[in-house]
Structure 1
């Protein structure tokens, strides 16, 4: 499997910008040791892609692994879309969002 991770990272970041998701918390192919709260991650390690979200206190909520870069990207954007929907719904119900973002702040 020959994957250009720099190119993939750039493609993902361009799509994030295209969707207006720059204010979301995410990590794209950085394999960081420190995981922040309420972030969506896509990492590559040992020949597999891992897509997951962190919650409060940076605990991991569900970790998906993929061999296909396309499947991993699709899942990553599914999680970003879900983040926007969940937080917009929280605002509509007069509840606190996970964090502040112009995508859902009033």
Structure 2
């Protein structure tokens, strides 16, 4: 897949994130599996012929990796993990537990 197409895909996903107002979450889109890693970060990467979607845990270890041939299936999983992250951290805050990391989305 050529670089221009990957940039187009990245722009589409970033636009979806902006529309959903999820920009404050920790995420990485096609940065390379070892680049810009953070704890509790949602990531999407192009590895060979597949798209991998996963979240990092504490110490940036990998948690629950999904592999897709279709980019739009990967986008759906990526955005679903974002929503799950918001909901689980809102519940943690509501119940008096610490969230994974500070983010204004937990308070909405």
Common topology (TM > 0.5): yes
Structure with the bigger percentage of helix: 2
How far apart are 1:105 and its partner, in Å?
A: 3.4
Which deviates more from structure 2 when the two are superposed, residues 45-54 or residues 25-34?
25-34
1:39, distance to aligned residue in structure 2 (A) = 0.1
* Superposed displacement of residue 32, structure 1: 4.1
RMSD: 1.6
Q: Name the counterpart of 2:92.
A: 90
Aligned to 2:20: 19
Aligned partner (choices 37, 56, 59) of residue 57 of structure 1? 59
Q: Secondary structure of the residue that 1:31 maps to in structure 2?
A: coil
Give the CA deviation at 1:69: 0.5
> What TM-score results when the alignment is normalised by the length of structure 1?
0.93
The 1-side partners of 2:89 and 2:13 are apart by 22
Partner of 1:7: 8
Q: How many residues align?
A: 106
Could you tell me which runs of 5 or more consecutive residues in structure 2 were left unpaired when the two chains were aligned.
none
Extract unaligned runs of 5+ from structure 1.
Answer: none
Runs of 4+ in 1 over 3 A off after TM superposition: none
Counterpart in 2 of 1:40? Answer: 42
**Scaled by the length of structure 2, what TM-score is found?**
0.92
How big is each residue's C-alpha offset from its partner over 1:42-88, in whole Å with a ceiling of 9 and x where there is no partner?
Answer: 10011110000001111111111000001000000010000000100
